[in-house]
């Protein structure tokens, strides 16, 4: 069996097992889920180790350069005058996906470990969790737009219930806001998807196809079709291809999230239970970035180039706006949520630069932020579980009370603010290098954008260090008094086991960024070349 | 009189010849009589027997429908001197109507309120069978006269069904409203038909010369007549602006009757609309208003009005009533770009919609039986108490919204594809607006559909144990429907390749 299919089937299989088990065995559900995620982690590490590199494995717009490919005909319909509809079950990965896939598998394990705090309705929780697991893995593997869309939408419902049923006080509001926001983006994506499908024909079979890679080849567009490059069609007075790009970009920008489409994120993060926050920040935001690279840039490269300035501008706005907001937050989780927005801005900036450095930095930032935000949200969860409070000014002097916890917090904070030696430094440095290089190489971004990005790093140092100072240093003073003091025990073994690998990975990626760069490099170069050729 | 004699034998043999193409309907007519007689003979105890007879009879009718496919291999047949048309797509419509009616007939007696009716349900079965006869006629009608007769037949049966059990002033009012609106709209339709007849001198719209005659008349007059006829059909389809009756009637009628009204007559009415419009849209001789644009505008208005009004509703049946108006608008998209392709897509969309709608109303009955809940608010906290039913409800609502991986999504996708395909050729701005409205209203529809899962799962309420007898049948039905919806969501070609 194809290994990617296996990766997708593992959560489904375990989901069925959990579904069939009686509620009396509810204690075993978390272990079953943990097993499932560990198996997935094993599979993805195996794939990582067996992932071939070299110019012949660049992927992007060459179907034969993808690895672990499985392609099965799925839906084939004769639609009369409109020709045949061809939808394939088509999975495969290139350098862009492999690093994100490994990161996703690890984050899922961590998320499962943090699910120990969930006490109510375990069967529902873990079923939804596994469904979400399958959907996010599927998004990174799918190479057929239809399949991609299916997985993309499939994430929404489990997340809605996970936030809505196990969330905090304003969970209903946060859940529906998240759902409506994302759906708003994706229904219009559906229209573009249908338009692309009707524009593109598979040269091998002559059918209309949803194959993303075929959509990247301008020769596959028939002349009269809406999204044909040569056709210069318009929709409601706007150039069709620009409109298509904008619609897809908005759909993914909501996921990233890019300011001003970010307002769902602080609410969702704050109300969601810790495991869901981890998945949201660690994985879902990356789906936005991945979608922009794979789909927006892949299918509409010339629009991405002509609109690079605006992408970069949005990236810079996200970086600065997120950072300033993070400075102003009084809730620790909200602060981290805004810091996510700021950090994901670097992804957009790197992508917009369209240089090898910038795109490598963007992918690296996604991987790095995946681990670091997981760690940060897990750490907030630790605190919240003990005293059910997250107010930054409700704690003081935690350093003496919980030394081990403080140590991990410091690692996570310093790593996130871009201290050399940690992954985020490499990632942000590369993104900024790309942005600095862009004015001279391809003239897409002006210098001031890179400078503003650098200011963002400074701001992130400010809010992380200030928080550290307020919460962990100084004389011990807690809002809840002695009750809190007793409740605030230091980390237990499970928590340490969860945090240690994350800290190690952040360090390892900082010292040996080649762990990621080696795997993504060929794809990044292929993408840059593809963008230049168009 | 003597002049006519030579023609009689020819007409007679044509009628007898036509009967071979009319077997399902003949059996339906017989079934109606059999069910009625069973009811008369066995009186009060006849409920079970009537149900068995009716359902078994329907299975036979479905079998006869299937056999009809062999008759249309070489194209359609005009029967009964051009009154009815038997074509392949029509047989699919009939099959779907029979299948859904079969489910509905089973479902009638599972509703505690309807089943508690003192007269018993036996009459309802005979009325339902009679209305099905009318539905078959609607699907096949191609002559203005037969169109009118078919619609009237279904309407009269529907009036009876809506008013079958009137528990309070509200449902009595609903029944009366339905009759009055129905009568008014059919009167208008009849006026429109008479005008068309006057203009063209013929009732056979399928023939070119009829349309040709019409093209010689002032376009404003013919357009006016056309609007009147469309009002009659639109009453059955419940598109805006002839939709006022829908919320009240759907809320006031018994839930199974609502399930009936919101599905099968609608499907038949779409089939009728296609039959009626095809000659005008395809011959190119029609000089009145542009049909495609008119349908697009109606579709847009209907989607917007239906979906936005549904957001404000709290009664579950009323909400589903407005949502069904929204779905009519969406289905009109496929009619606006009428072609062979769009008819099969439309058939698929309607099948999926109808299944999901029956499922949703069956679950509304389930919860009403179990707990007496009628409003969305009453569903608070049921999710954990009735997990299976609630999960099915979520799947069914997701399908109605049109999200993957349910059949509703594939239906939506195919409709979009069809409209897009035409848009690519014509670049009509209306089609683009239709699609954008369709996408936007999907988001709006999520807003109200999600209220049910929201109350089921997200809201919590401590409540006393209310346990009547378990409605296992309804639960099985909803599980079955959910399964089908997911199956078609993953493998839509299982059905679509047949259509």
pLDDT of B476: 92
Whole-number average pLDDT of chain B: 89
Distance from CA of B415 to the nearest CA of A (A): 10
Quickly list DSSP for A147-201.
Answer: HHHHHHHHTHHHHHHHHHHH--TTHHHHHHHHHHHHHHHHHHHHHHHHHHHHHBB
> Would you state the structure tokens that stand for residue A115, as one six-digit string?
């699910």
Is B497 an 8 Å CB contact of chain A? yes
> B416–A194: do the CB atoms touch at under 8 Å?
yes
Confidence of residue A80 (pLDDT cuts 50, 70, 90): low
Count of C-beta atoms within a 10 Å radius of residue B426: 11
Cβ pair A267, A177 in contact under 8 A = yes
Residues of B with Cβ-Cβ distance to A157 under 8 angstroms: 394, 398, 403
Whole-number average pLDDT of chain A: 89
pLDDT of A132: 94
Q: State the Rg of chain A over Cα.
A: 23
Q: Is the pLDDT assigned to residue B463 strictly greater than 70?
A: no
- At which residue do the structure tokens 């920040």 appear? A281
Q: Which of A22-36, A84-98, A309-323, B277-291 has the lowest mean pLDDT?
A: B277-291
List all residues 6 or more positions away from B141 whose beta carbon is below 8 Å from its beta carbon.
B83, B84, B85, B147, B149, B150, B272, B275
Q: Which of A25-34, A455-464, B467-476, B482-491 has the lowest mean pLDDT?
A: B467-476
Phi, then psi, of B61 in degrees rounded to 5: -60, -40
Cβ pair A312, A359 in contact under 8 A = no
> A198–B417: do the CB atoms touch at under 8 Å?
yes
Is B227 an 8 Å CB contact of chain A? no
The overall longest dimension of chain A from CA atoms, in Å, is 77
Residues of A with Cβ-Cβ distance to B420 under 8 angstroms: 191, 194-195, 198, 226
HSE-up (13 A, CA, CB side) for residue A322: 35
As a whole number of angstroms, the distance between CA B452 and CA B471 comes to: 20
Phi, then psi, of A159 in degrees rounded to 5: -65, -40
Residues of B with Cβ-Cβ distance to A246 under 8 angstroms: none
Distance from CA of B439 to the nearest CA of A (A): 6
Count of C-beta atoms within a 10 Å radius of residue B91: 20
Best of B333, B403, B489 to disrupt the A interface (most A CBs within 10 Å) is: B403
Q: Which residues pair with B245 in a beta bridge?
A: none
- Provide mean pLDDT across the span B84-111: 92
As a whole number of angstroms, the distance between CA A176 and CA A524 comes to: 37
Residues of A with Cβ-Cβ distance to B427 under 8 angstroms: 233
Closest Cβ–Cβ partner in B443, B457, B492 for A161: B457
Closest Cβ–Cβ partner in A149, A190, A198 for B424: A198
pLDDT of B28: 93
Share of chain B above pLDDT 90, in %: 48
Phi, then psi, of A144 in degrees rounded to 5: -110, 130
> A78–B493: do the CB atoms touch at under 8 Å?
no
- Provide mean pLDDT across the span B78-97: 90
Cβ pair A81, B339 in contact under 8 A = yes
Q: What is the pLDDT of residues B170-219, one digit of tens each?
A: 888 888 889 999 999 999 999 999 999 999 888 888 888 888 888 888 88
Distance from CA of B307 to the nearest CA of A (A): 15
Best of B88, B342, B387, B417 to disrupt the A interface (most A CBs within 10 Å) is: B417
Closest Cβ–Cβ partner in A85, A179, A233 for B446: A179
Distance from CA of A291 to the nearest CA of B (A): 18
Q: Looking at chain A, which residue has its C-alpha nearest residue B443?
A: A184
Residues of A with Cβ-Cβ distance to B497 under 8 angstroms: 77-78
Dihedral in degrees, nearest 10, Cα atoms A8, A9, A12, A18 = -130
pLDDT of B465: 59
Is B457 an 8 Å CB contact of chain A? yes
Residues of B with Cβ-Cβ distance to A187 under 8 angstroms: 439-440, 442-443
- Provide mean pLDDT across the span A189-207: 86
> A75–B409: do the CB atoms touch at under 8 Å?
no
- At which residue do the structure tokens 């309907």 appear? B25
Residues of B with Cβ-Cβ distance to A233 under 8 angstroms: 427
Q: What is the pLDDT of residues A357-398, one digit of tens each?
A: 999 999 999 999 999 999 999 999 888 888 888 888 888 888
Q: What is the pLDDT of residues B212-263, one digit of tens each?
A: 888 888 889 999 999 999 999 998 888 888 888 898 899 888 899 999 999 9
Phi, then psi, of A92 in degrees rounded to 5: 175, 160
Is B381 an 8 Å CB contact of chain A? no
Residues of B with Cβ-Cβ distance to A175 under 8 angstroms: 458
> A176–B454: do the CB atoms touch at under 8 Å?
yes
pLDDT of A532: 86
Q: What is the pLDDT of residues A209-258, one digit of tens each?
A: 888 988 888 888 887 788 887 777 888 778 888 999 999 999 999 998 89
B489, exposed or middle or buried, with CB in 10 Å at 0-12, 13-18, 19+? buried
Share of chain A above pLDDT 90, in %: 44
Confidence of residue B468 (pLDDT cuts 50, 70, 90): low
Q: Is the pLDDT assigned to residue B464 strictly greater than 70?
A: no
Q: How far is CA B477 from CA A490, B355, B366, B481, in A?
A: 53, 11, 10, 6
As a whole number of angstroms, the distance between CA A450 and CA A361 comes to: 13
- Provide mean pLDDT across the span A155-180: 89
pTM: 0.93
Q: Looking at chain B, which residue has its C-alpha nearest residue A82?
A: B421
Residues of A with Cβ-Cβ distance to B409 under 8 angstroms: 153
pLDDT of B360: 94
Residues of B with Cβ-Cβ distance to A183 under 8 angstroms: 403, 442-443, 446
Query: By C-alpha distance, which of B76, B187, B198 is closest to B142?
Result: B76
The stretches of B141-263 forming alpha helices (DSSP H) are: 144-162, 169-200, 208-215, 219-237, 245-252, 255-261
Phi, then psi, of A491 in degrees rounded to 5: -60, 145
> Would you state the structure tokens that stand for residue B355, as one six-digit string?
């299944």
Count of C-beta atoms within a 10 Å radius of residue A232: 9
Cβ pair A366, A385 in contact under 8 A = no
Helix (H), strand (E), coil (C) string for B54-95: HHHHHHHHHHHHHHHHHHHCCCCEEECCCCEEECHHHHHHHH
Q: Looking at chain B, which residue has its C-alpha nearest residue A183?
A: B443
Closest Cβ–Cβ partner in B384, B404, B417 for A153: B404
List all residues 6 or more positions away from A122 whose beta carbon is below 8 Å from its beta carbon.
A26, A29, A30
Q: What is the pLDDT of residues B12-63, one digit of tens each?
A: 888 888 888 899 999 999 999 999 998 888 877 778 888 899 999 999 999 9
Residues of B with Cβ-Cβ distance to A195 under 8 angstroms: 420
- Of residues B2 and B402, more confidently modeled: B402
> B418–A82: do the CB atoms touch at under 8 Å?
yes
Closest Cβ–Cβ partner in A77, A161, A235 for B496: A77
Best of A23, A75, A210 to disrupt the B interface (most B CBs within 10 Å) is: A75
Q: Is the pLDDT assigned to residue B315 strictly greater than 60?
A: yes
pLDDT of A81: 63
pLDDT of B227: 92
Distance from CA of A481 to the nearest CA of B (A): 32
> Would you state the structure tokens that stand for residue A233, as one six-digit string?
């069609």
Distance from CA of A223 to the nearest CA of B (A): 11
Q: Looking at chain B, which residue has its C-alpha nearest residue A197?
A: B417
> B493–A75: do the CB atoms touch at under 8 Å?
yes
Confidence of residue A414 (pLDDT cuts 50, 70, 90): very high
pLDDT of A217: 87
**If you count residue pairs, one on A and one on B, with CB atoms under 8 Å apart, how many are there?**
101
- Report CA B76 to chain centroid distance, whole Å: 23
């Amino acid at each position: 069996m194809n290994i990617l299919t296996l990766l997708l089937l593992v959560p489904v299989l375990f989901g069925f097992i959990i579904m069939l088990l009686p509620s009396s065995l509810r204690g075993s559900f978390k272990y079953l889920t943990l097993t499932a995620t560990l198996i997935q982690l094993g599979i993805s590490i195996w794939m990582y180790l067996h992932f071939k590199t070299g110019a012949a494995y660049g992927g992007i717009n060459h179907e034969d350069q993808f690895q672990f490919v499985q392609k099965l005909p799925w839906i084939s319909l004769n639609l009369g005058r409109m020709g045949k509809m061809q939808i394939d079950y088509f999975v495969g990965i290139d350098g862009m996906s492999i690093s994100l896939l490994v990161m996703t598998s690890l984050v899922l394990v961590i998320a499962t470990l943090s699910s120990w705090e969930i006490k109510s309705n375990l069967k529902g929780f873990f079923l939804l969790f596994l469904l979400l697991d399958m959907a996010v893995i599927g998004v990174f593997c799918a190479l057929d737009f239809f399949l991609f869309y299916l997985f993309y939408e499939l994430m929404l419902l489990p997340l809605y219930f996970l936030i809505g049923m196990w969330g905090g006080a304003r969970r209903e509001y946060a859940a529906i806001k998240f759902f409506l926001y994302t759906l708003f983006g994706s229904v219009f994506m559906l229209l573009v998807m249908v338009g692309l499908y009707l524009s593109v024909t598979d040269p091998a079979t002559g059918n209309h196809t949803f194959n993303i890679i075929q959509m990247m080849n301008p020769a596959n567009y028939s002349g009269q079709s809406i999204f044909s490059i040569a056709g210069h069609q318009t929709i409601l007075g706007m150039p069709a291809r620009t409109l298509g790009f904008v619609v897809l970009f908005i759909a993914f920008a909501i996921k990233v999230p890019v300011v001003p489409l970010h307002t769902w994120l602080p609410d969702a993060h704050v109300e969601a239970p810790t495991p869901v926050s981890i998945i949201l920040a660690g994985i879902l935001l990356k789906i936005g970035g991945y979608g922009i690279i794979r789909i927006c840039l892949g299918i509409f490269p010339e629009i991405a180039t002509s609109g690079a300035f605006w992408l970069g501008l949005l990236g810079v706005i996200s970086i600065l706006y997120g950072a300033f907001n993070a400075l102003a937050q009084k809730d620790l989780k909200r602060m981290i949520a805004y810091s996510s927005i700021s950090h994901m801005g670097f992804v957009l900036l790197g992508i917009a630069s369209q240089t090898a450095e910038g795109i490598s930095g963007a992918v690296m930032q996604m991987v790095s932020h995946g681990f670091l935000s997981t760690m940060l949200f897990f750490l907030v969860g630790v605190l919240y579980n003990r005293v059910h409070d997250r107010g930054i000014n409700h704690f003081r002097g935690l350093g003496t009370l919980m030394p081990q916890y403080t140590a991990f917090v410091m690692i996570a904070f310093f790593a996130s603010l871009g201290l050399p030696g940690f992954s985020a430094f490499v990632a942000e440095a590369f993104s900024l290098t790309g942005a600095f290089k862009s004015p001279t190489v391809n003239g897409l971004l002006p210098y001031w954008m890179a400078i503003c990005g650098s200011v963002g790093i400074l701001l992130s140092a400010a809010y992380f260090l200030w928080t550290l100072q307020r919460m962990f240093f100084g004389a011990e003073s807690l809002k809840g008094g002695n009750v809190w003091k007793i409740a605030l025990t230091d980390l237990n073994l499970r928590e340490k086991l969860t945090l240690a690998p994350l800290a190690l990975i952040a360090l390892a990626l900082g010292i040996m960024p080649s762990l990621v760069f080696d795997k993504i490099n060929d794809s990044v170069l292929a993408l840059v070349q593809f963008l230049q050729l168009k | 009189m003597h002049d006519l004699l030579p023609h009689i034998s020819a007409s007679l043999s044509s009628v007898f010849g036509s009967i071979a193409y009319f077997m399902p309907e003949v059996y339906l007519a017989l079934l109606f009589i059999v069910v009625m007689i069973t009811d008369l003979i066995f009186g009060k105890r006849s409920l079970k027997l009537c149900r068995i007879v009716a359902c078994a009879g329907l299975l036979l009718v479905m079998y006869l429908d299937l056999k009809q496919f062999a008759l249309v291999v070489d194209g359609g047949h005009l029967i009964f001197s051009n009154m009815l048309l038997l074509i392949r797509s029509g047989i699919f419509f009939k099959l779907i109507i029979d299948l859904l009616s079969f489910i509905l007939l089973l479902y009638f007696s599972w509703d505690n309120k309807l089943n508690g009716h003192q007269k018993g349900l036996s009459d309802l079965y005979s009325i339902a069978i009679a209305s099905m006869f009318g539905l078959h006629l609607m699907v096949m009608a191609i002559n203005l006269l037969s169109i009118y007769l078919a619609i009237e037949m279904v309407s009269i049966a529907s009036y009876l069904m809506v008013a079958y059990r009137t528990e309070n002033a509200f449902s009595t009012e609903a029944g009366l409203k339905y009759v009055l609106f129905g009568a008014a709209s059919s009167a208008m339709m009849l006026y429109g038909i008479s005008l068309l007849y006057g203009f063209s001198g013929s009732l056979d719209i399928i023939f070119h010369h009829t349309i040709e005659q019409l093209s010689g008349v002032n376009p404003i007059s013919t357009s006016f007549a056309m609007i009147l006829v469309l009002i009659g059909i639109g009453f059955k389809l419940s598109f805006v602006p002839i939709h006022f009756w829908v919320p009240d009637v759907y809320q006031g009628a018994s839930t199974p009757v609502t399930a009936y009204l919101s599905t099968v007559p609608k499907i038949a009415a779409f089939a009728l609309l296609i039959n009626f419009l095809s000659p005008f849209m395809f011959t190119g001789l029609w000089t009145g208003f542009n049909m495609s644009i008119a349908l697009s505008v109606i579709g847009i208005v209907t989607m917007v009005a239906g979906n936005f009004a549904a957001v404000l509703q709290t009664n579950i049946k009323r909400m589903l009533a407005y949502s069904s108006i929204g779905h009519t608008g969406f289905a009109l998209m496929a009619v606006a770009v009428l072609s062979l392709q769009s008819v099969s897509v439309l058939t698929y969309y309607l099948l999926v919609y109808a299944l999901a709608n029956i499922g949703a109303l069956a679950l509304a009955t389930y919860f009403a039986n179990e707990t007496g809940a009628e409003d969305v608010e009453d569903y608070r906290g049921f999710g954990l108490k009735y997990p299976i039913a609630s999960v099915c409800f979520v799947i069914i609502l997701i399908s109605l919204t049109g999200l993957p991986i349910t059949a509703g999504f594939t239906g939506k996708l195919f409709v979009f594809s069809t409209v897009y395909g035409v848009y690519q050729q014509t670049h009509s701005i209306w089609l683009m607006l239709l699609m954008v409205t369709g996408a936007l209203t999907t988001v709006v529809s999520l807003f109200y559909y999600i209220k049910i899962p929201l109350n089921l799962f997200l809201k919590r309420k401590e409540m006393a144990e209310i346990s009547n007898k378990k409605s296992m049948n309804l639960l099985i039905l909803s599980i079955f429907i959910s399964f089908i919806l997911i199956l078609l969501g993953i493998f839509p070609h299982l059905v679509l390749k047949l259509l």
